[in-house]
């Protein structure tokens, strides 16, 4: 078969090992079969948002009521995935992969999405690193310290989070059409690693992000089934967990489970992206305006309802209900670290008490602590809570109620600094950075920038009486850019890309409609 895929940048020597002729033939075949369907689903998202803007609020679909009311379950969960109490997430960086797999966790979700800046170098290295991790041959030596890193004998289970459907891979095209990053990530990981994973008694396990509808779940089921058939894998070899991190998807969770029932093992509360999606989806509704970011915790009724509905839906159908990310980074300061651990403890106890089977952390330093929380709350041999279903009935009104609270200039300014720092890191090739004690990735940064956009659009009144408008935003932006300069130092500032970051941030914050994703705008600069 003639290869018609084109690369806009040179493939590295290590990249050429994964971009082999057979792998590219397979990738091309998947692209040609599914690209047009994805194009249509992306258009459907735009149409859906237009309807919401016109006054049609998200709700449960009456056309799929039979699915919600009938008896069925997903394919049984493999034995090696029945304990997922603690999962760690992070980018597909070589050292990060080793440290994460060596952590005291059940699963490492290696991320091509929110925590990765998809530079061509990062993508190529990511595929190589994931191949070596799946084959358990991965090692690393620090250039300066010469410290060596290698895998322990029984590493955590490896999962791969592919990019969302909204992200293209501009460096690879077919007949002039850029491939979808999700297809590239899925095919490359599956093709190169399914045999090695089987030898270790595992399988190709994936996280699928940012689904917005059950039609997208149908698409993924067809992609997975097609790929299984092409490389002669038994149906159900590929297993996936889907993140419920968009407002439209929370009303379609049963349908998502149903259409992926041969492959799905659980749903995850992607809480940060969910808050971002809540703002973006309900952008035309001033009564849905959200307060300061630090107020919007899982204890807010609309987020508790989201968690409860996800747990009930999953357990009703025999699937795992995974909790969300603890974005805290341990501190070397004893008093500060004690406060951080208290917040982590409250967050994880909430998830356990609400019925979740496991949770996420962003830093290996939290693994032992979170494991102890589960050990204390679970019975001796208990590994999940699949038999737990709350008697609470969650309504559309509860999911859409939002929350109220203070809106402060301090939060406005903090959101500006976080956005400036994160976008600068992202366009410089880093998708996951610690900012003010929190591990910020694209999801958390999206909350910061859309919150400002929402406040400007609806002329939000702050607790000091000021009205958030373009003039106030521009004034705060200039002042906070200087504060960022002082924080990072003149040399780092001048050698960085803060002017570019400011330009991107300004564009998406002052746009007429909420920009779909900051990463699609910033990707133009990579």
Residues annotated as catalytic are 161, 441
CA 343 to CA 424: how far, in whole Å? 28
Torsion angle, alpha carbons of 127, 186, 81, 433, to 10: 50
Which of 497-519 are b and which e, b meaning 16 or more Cβ less than 10 Å from the residue's Cβ? Answer: bbeebbebbeebbeeeebbebbb
Nearest Cα neighbor of 156 from 91, 104, 216 is: 104
Q: Which residues pair with 359 in a beta bridge?
A: 86
State the chain's maximal CA–CA distance in angstroms. 67
Instruction: Please tell me what DSSP assigns to residue 240.
Output: E
CA 194 to CA 203: how far, in whole Å? 6
Region of residue 82 (phi > 0: left; psi between -120 and 50: alpha; otherwise: beta): alpha
Report the run of H or E that residue 482 belongs to, with start and end: helix 470-488
Nearest Cα neighbor of 239 from 216, 211, 208 is: 208
**What does the radius of gyration of the chain's CA atoms come to, in whole angstroms?**
22
- Residue 246 CA: distances (Å) to CA of 50, 243, 259, 319, 395: 16, 9, 18, 19, 17
Report the run of H or E that residue 160 belongs to, with start and end: strand 157-161
CA 217 to CA 174: how far, in whole Å? 25
CA 217 to CA 242: how far, in whole Å? 9
User: Which SS3 state, helix, strand or coil, does residue 170 take?
Assistant: strand
Nearest Cα neighbor of 241 from 270, 212, 219, 215 is: 270
Residues 6+ apart with CB under 8 A from 33: 226
User: Which SS3 state, helix, strand or coil, does residue 167 take?
Assistant: coil
């Amino acid at each position: 078969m003639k290869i018609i895929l084109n690369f806009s940048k040179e493939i590295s020597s290590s990249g050429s090992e994964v971009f082999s002729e057979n792998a590219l033939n397979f990738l091309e075949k998947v692209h040609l079969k599914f690209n047009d369907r994805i194009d249509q689903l992306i258009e459907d998202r735009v149409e859906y948002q237009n309807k919401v803007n016109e006054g049609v609020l998200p709700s449960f679909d009456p056309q799929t009521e039979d699915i919600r009311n009938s008896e069925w379950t997903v394919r049984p969960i493999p034995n090696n995935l029945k304990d997922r109490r603690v999962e760690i997430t992070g980018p597909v960086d070589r050292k990060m992969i080793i440290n994460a797999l060596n952590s005291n966790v059940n699963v490492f979700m290696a991320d091509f999405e929110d925590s990765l800046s998809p530079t061509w170098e990062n993508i190529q290295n990511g595929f190589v690193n994931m191949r070596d991790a799946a084959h358990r041959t991965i090692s690393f030596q620090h250039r300066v310290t010469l410290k060596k890193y290698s895998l322990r004998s029984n590493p955590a289970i490896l999962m791969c989070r592919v990019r969302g459907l909204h992200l293209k891979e501009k460096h690879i095209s077919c007949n002039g059409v850029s491939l979808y990053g999700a297809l590239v990530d899925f095919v490359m990981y599956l093709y190169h690693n399914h045999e090695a994973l089987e030898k270790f008694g595992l399988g190709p396990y994936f996280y699928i992000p940012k689904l917005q509808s059950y039609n997208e779940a149908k698409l993924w089921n067809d992609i997975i089934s097609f790929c299984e058939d092409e490389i002669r894998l038994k149906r159900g070899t590929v297993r996936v967990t889907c993140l419920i991190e968009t407002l439209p998807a929370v009303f379609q969770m049963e349908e998502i489970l149903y259409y992926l029932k041969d492959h799905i093992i659980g749903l995850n509360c992607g809480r940060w992206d969910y808050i971002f999606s809540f703002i973006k989806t309900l952008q035309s509704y001033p009564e849905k305006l959200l307060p300061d970011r630090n107020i919007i915790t899982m204890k807010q009724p609309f987020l508790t309802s989201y968690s409860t509905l996800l747990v009930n839906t999953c357990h009703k159908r025999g699937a795992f209900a995974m909790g969300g990310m603890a974005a805290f980074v341990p501190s070397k300061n004893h008093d500060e670290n004690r406060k951080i651990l208290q917040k982590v403890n409250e967050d994880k106890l909430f998830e356990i008490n609400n019925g979740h089977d496991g949770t996420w952390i962003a830093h290996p330093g939290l693994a032992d602590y979170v494991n102890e929380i589960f050990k204390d709350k679970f019975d001796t041999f208990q590994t999940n809570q699949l038999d737990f279903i709350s008697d609470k009935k969650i309504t559309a009104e509860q999911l859409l109620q939002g929350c109220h609270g203070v809106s402060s200039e301090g939060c406005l300014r903090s959101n500006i600094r976080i956005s400036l720092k994160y976008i600068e890191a992202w366009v410089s090739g880093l998708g996951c950075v610690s900012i003010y004690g929190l591990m910020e990735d694209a999801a958390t940064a999206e909350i910061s920038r859309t919150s400002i956009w929402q406040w400007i659009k609806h002329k939000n009144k702050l607790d000091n009486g000021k009205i958030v408008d373009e003039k106030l935003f521009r004034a705060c932006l200039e002042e906070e850019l200087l504060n960022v300069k002082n924080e990072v130092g003149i040399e780092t500032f001048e050698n960085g890309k803060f002017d570019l970051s400011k330009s991107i941030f300004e564009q998406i914050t002052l746009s007429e409609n909420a920009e779909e994703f900051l990463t699609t705008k910033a990707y133009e600069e990579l």
